[in-house]
Structure 1
Amino acid sequence: MGIIKAITDSVEGTFTSQWKKLITAGHFDEHTVVAPGVLKNNNNGRGANTHGFMDIISNGSKIFVPENTAAFIFSQGGIENMITTPGGYEYKDGDKSIFKGNGIAASMIKQAKDRIGFGGISSSEKKIAFVNLREIRDIKFGTRGPQVYNDLYYGCDLEIYAYGGFSIKVVDPEVFIKKFVPANTNSYSFNTPNVRAQVLSEFVQSFIVALNSLSTTYRISQLPSQAMEIAKRISEDPYNAGSWKERFGFEITKVKIENIEFSPESRVLVNQFSANKMNMRAYEDVSQKTSNIAAQQKIAQGIQDNGLGNGGMLYGMNMAQNIGPQGQSVSTPISSMSFDQKIKTVKNLKELVDMGVLTQEEFDAKKKEIMGL
């Protein structure tokens, strides 16, 4: 394979104390996914210092691969080797060092001829770069135009703008390097405009698909709390962001929705809906009160016109079920009433007192009459 693992200790400090010079990963900022190698020197025991980029390796080059990082070695012919396990390594298949043994001048001349033929780069020259396997966080997105969302609560299509961010992670560095990163590239970032444009375009397409699939279940106001479900549905979209893992070797790990705004036209519709709902609620409250008053008046009128007869009960609106369709009372002789019927009649009369239909004196008189007191 051309790579020999030198030690099993993945602690960089221990590694640099054993090897005076080594190549390791350069700086990864929040959105950098590929970085060139840098040369580190332990500076005679005073700590490891960085001495600039050093992406060209040769036979005997010492390599340290940090945690959550992969290294790949490539030439003009493509990728030669990939290291995905952290630790220290020594490269063995590159050009023989011109500083070993005899024939230094001849080796230098041969390399000079090779470089002339390849524009200054040796035909067998190897380079190394490192892939960031950590989560690439908070790539900002926003819908460029209004998106239609059918909100079941409002019962109509509403136009919204959505803003937020998402995170991705390289899960297959070999596929990522071969199919997404341009050839012979040792530095790559998702902040690069053309890279960001492609990723955002496909993400927004999958985001819209996910939103449409949620409209049958969630109101617009509930969408920010459904970020995990949105991320899941985006990952399931086979045509855009959901295909990234197979196509490019990275996948979405998280989605967050920072804000959802109505378009001006939809905001007017929502405001009208809210105003109409408030008016309807006020109307329903007034109607209920009017209905209660009408029921009380009907019961009172029935009592005034017909009395309670020989224990006959007047009901209306769940309190006077025995009022006839024309308001007449339906009499039941006290003598034919069972004890349970008498008790129920007294309870119903007490409810009429609570409603204000009967006075306490009227109730007491009718109670005595019914119970034979």
Structure 2
Amino acid sequence: MGLIKAATSMIGGGLADQWVEVIEPDRLSDTTVLTKGVKVRKDSKRGANKKGTADVLTDGTVVHVYPNMMMLLVDGGKIIDYTAEEGYYTIENNSAPSMLNGSLKEAISETFDRFKYGGVTPQKQQIFYINLQEIKGIRFGTASPLNYFDNFYNAELFLRAHGTYSIKITDPILFYKNAIPHDRTQVEIQDINEQYLAEFLTALQTSINQMSADGERISYVPSKSMALSKYMSQILDDEWRELRGMEIVSVAVASISYTDDSMKLINMRNQGAMLGDPGIREGYVQGAVAEGIKNAGSNPNGATNGFMGVNLGMNAAGGFINQASQNNQAQMQQQAQQAKDSWTCGECGQENQGKFCSNCGSPKPTTTAASIKMKCAACHAVVDLANGVPKFCPECGQPFQAIPLDE
């Protein structure tokens, strides 16, 4: 039993005018991965052939294969023949399998050899169509946060990812044998996606960890969909291709959200980086002061108390500034005093600070005030003014008023 490609010249009007039965795909949608072929007769709606024996394909039945589909001729649960080339085919019980691969790789014939029908007169004959188009819009979301070590923040952050991914069936025979429940004749991707989604999320965690190891910033993850697809392909494609005959085509990350703790850490790090800029820091301080004055005006305890608080805060800040200024001034005075106390050695010319020359050991020269003597106007006692003018006469105790010695 096999397929023979029908001559297109025979296709004129309705197909039922040329052949006894015509097989067409049943329900198809963008998410359909497998559907059963149903018989169509002239002047009848699509559906099962009520006049013939159920699940028996008569000799000469025509099968219509559309683009981006693979048709499987199944007999007793075993695959008898297949084709991935669009067109019309006639079922002939005495024909050998045609095995028309179409755009699929030649390696699919090896899969057919592993699962082909070995036997005898068929008992249950069915046509199945497998969708070879890219199955898009498969949603995913992380139920629990994924850990991500970011070298920029030097911290372990946690994120949640949401988006969609798409798959493509590359080995329909393997997919039919290992991924499709054999009691189903209509399968959508959602019907079989639970296990694959769990595997996908596991691979997503591995891929995101790999991006972290490669030094990617956590904020760049949404823009790295193509790189993420590549990571996912490296992790999942070999396994999915070998076990189920399908592979991942693309991954689109729609949104990345951080946990509250991670968000606080990111904001704190970003604020610290911004305040490192003097211009931004000055603007931040001025804005904070303006906000404080605004809040003081609406203080429920009275604007006066509010402004007092603002003044206290500003005075406290000013106190720090004044303290720093005083420290600066003291340091400058100390330097000035040191300059004042310096002297030059008369023996060798060395500039010194102490009592002896650091070069030759000569003592620092002493200076004596000139002796100036005046008389007290009250008692005419002679007083030496070398150490300064006294307020009171040391002899009579009266307020000192100096007069020349000759008076």
TM-score tier after normalising by the smaller chain length: 0.5 to 0.7
Matched, 1:198 2:195: yes
**Aligned residue in 2 for 1:247:** 243
Distance change in 2, residues 1:11/1:25 (3 Å): farther
**Aligned residue in 2 for 1:312:** none
**Aligned residue in 2 for 1:87:** 87
Structure 1, residues 122-181: CA drift from partner, whole Å, max 9, x if none? 961211111011111110001110001112221211000000000111111111112221
Matched, 1:173 2:172: yes
Within-5 A mapping of 1:345-364: none
Within-5 A mapping of 1:284-295: none
Q: Measure the CA separation in 1 of the matches of 2:217 and 2:61.
A: 59
The offset of 1:185, in angstroms, is 3.5
Contact 1:169 1:250 in 2 (8 A): yes
The offset of 1:72, in angstroms, is 0.9
Matched, 1:279 2:275: yes
The offset of 1:39, in angstroms, is 2.6
TM-score between the two structures when normalised by the length of structure 2:
0.56
Q: Measure the CA separation in 1 of the matches of 2:24 and 2:10.
A: 12
Distance change in 2, residues 1:14/1:270 (3 Å): farther
**Aligned residue in 1 for 2:2:** 2
**Aligned residue in 2 for 1:263:** 259
Distance change in 2, residues 1:127/1:33 (3 Å): same
Contact 1:20 1:42 in 2 (8 A): no
State the identity %.
29
Q: Measure the CA separation in 2 of the matches of 1:281 and 1:10.
A: 81
Matched, 1:141 2:140: yes
SS at match of 1:198: helix
Structure 1, residues 256-291: CA drift from partner, whole Å, max 9, x if none? 0000000111111112212222222248977xxxxx
Q: Measure the CA separation in 1 of the matches of 2:256 and 2:36.
A: 39
Structure 1, residues 170-214: CA drift from partner, whole Å, max 9, x if none? 11111111222123542211111xx11111011111111111111
Q: Measure the CA separation in 2 of the matches of 1:203 and 1:26.
A: 30
Pick from 207, 211, 218 the counterpart of residue 208 of structure 2: 211
Contact 2:23 2:62 in 1 (8 A): yes
Distance change in 2, residues 1:278/1:77 (3 Å): closer
**Aligned residue in 1 for 2:64:** 64
The offset of 1:249, in angstroms, is 0.8
**Aligned residue in 2 for 1:222:** 220
Within-5 A mapping of 1:310-349: none
Pick from 44, 47, 50 the counterpart of residue 52 of structure 1: 47
Distance change in 2, residues 1:83/1:57 (3 Å): same
Structure 1: where are the runs of 5+ without partners?
44-48, 95-121, 287-373
**Aligned residue in 1 for 2:150:** 151
Q: Which has the higher contact order (CA 8 A, sep 6+)?
A: 1
The offset of 1:241, in angstroms, is 5.1
SS at match of 1:278: helix
Contact 1:165 1:257 in 2 (8 A): yes
SS at match of 1:257: strand
Which segment drifts farther, 136-145 or 205-214?
Answer: 205-214
Q: Measure the CA separation in 2 of the matches of 1:56 and 1:34.
A: 20
Distance change in 2, residues 1:53/1:234 (3 Å): farther
Q: Measure the CA separation in 1 of the matches of 2:254 and 2:151.
A: 22
AA partner of residue 203 (structure 2): S
Q: Measure the CA separation in 2 of the matches of 1:12 and 1:154.
A: 71
**Aligned residue in 1 for 2:99:** none
Q: Measure the CA separation in 1 of the matches of 2:142 and 2:218.
A: 15
The offset of 1:11, in angstroms, is 9.3
Distance change in 2, residues 1:125/1:204 (3 Å): same
Within-5 A mapping of 1:24-43: 24-41=24-41, 43=43
SS at match of 2:6: strand
Contact 1:26 1:36 in 2 (8 A): yes
The offset of 1:76, in angstroms, is 2.9
Equivalenced residues, count: 255
Q: Measure the CA separation in 2 of the matches of 1:178 and 1:222.
A: 40
TM-score between the two structures when normalised by the length of structure 1:
0.61
**Aligned residue in 2 for 1:231:** 229
SS at match of 1:28: coil
Q: Which runs of 4+ in 1 moved over 6 A?
A: 9-14, 283-286
AA partner of residue 265 (structure 2): L
The offset of 1:244, in angstroms, is 0.8
Contact 1:36 1:53 in 2 (8 A): no
SS at match of 1:57: coil
**Aligned residue in 2 for 1:358:** none
Q: Measure the CA separation in 2 of the matches of 1:180 and 1:10.
A: 38
Q: Measure the CA separation in 1 of the matches of 2:11 and 2:253.
A: 38
Q: Measure the CA separation in 2 of the matches of 1:155 and 1:12.
A: 72
Distance change in 2, residues 1:281/1:53 (3 Å): farther
Within-5 A mapping of 1:122-141: 124-141=123-140
Structure 1, residues 24-70: CA drift from partner, whole Å, max 9, x if none? 11222121100111233454xxxxx7422466523222111111111
Structure 2: where are the runs of 5+ without partners?
50-54, 95-120, 283-407
AA partner of residue 137 (structure 1): K
Q: Measure the CA separation in 1 of the matches of 2:244 and 2:5.
A: 28
Q: Measure the CA separation in 2 of the matches of 1:279 and 1:138.
A: 43
